[in-house]
Amino acid sequence: MGISYVEFEDENGVLRRYRKHVNGRGLVATTAKVDPTAFVDPTAYVDPGAEVQRHAVIGPGGWVDRDAIVAERAEIGVRAHVGRGAVVGRNAVVGPYASIGAAARVQNGARVPREAKVAEGDEYRASTEDLRRLGLAA
């Protein structure tokens, strides 16, 4: 099977090219970096300059905005949005319909609830329960 490309015009009128990711067939900008072990749902997309690391999951309708980072084993829920330049830490979970603002940070292992909004530039911390789930808290 050959590489399949789709082109979109961005908000500035610039034509952007996306390819279908090998694992899940979601759309990934040609300038984004997505590990082959990551899963990108067919209805999800990853914008230019973004990075999705090993074994991360971008769920149905998920959107990883420009220059954002989704660390290894993180999960982005149904129709969740990771804002421009935001970072979602290792093993973190962003719930369905949640929104992570531009330049915001979600700590390693944190679980952002369904429909929650993390404001631009804020940091969402892992709870003791989140850390216990990962075996990191007593």
pLDDT of residue 133: 74
pLDDT of residue 67: 98
pLDDT in tens, 21-63: 999 999 999 999 999 999 999 999 999 999 999 999 999 999 9
**All structural domains of the chain with their residue ranges:** 5-133
Mean pLDDT for 115-126 is 96
Question: Would you tell me which CATH number, out of the four given (1.10.645.10, 2.160.10.10, 3.90.1150.10, 3.30.110.30), belongs to the domain 5-133?
Answer: 2.160.10.10
Would the pLDDT of 72 be above 80?
A: yes
User: What order do you get walking across the sheet with 45-46 strand by strand?
Assistant: 5-9, 15-20, 27-29, 45-46, 63-64, 81-82, 99-100, 117-118
User: In which band, very low, low, confident or very high, does the pLDDT at 135 lie, cut at 50, 70 and 90?
Assistant: confident
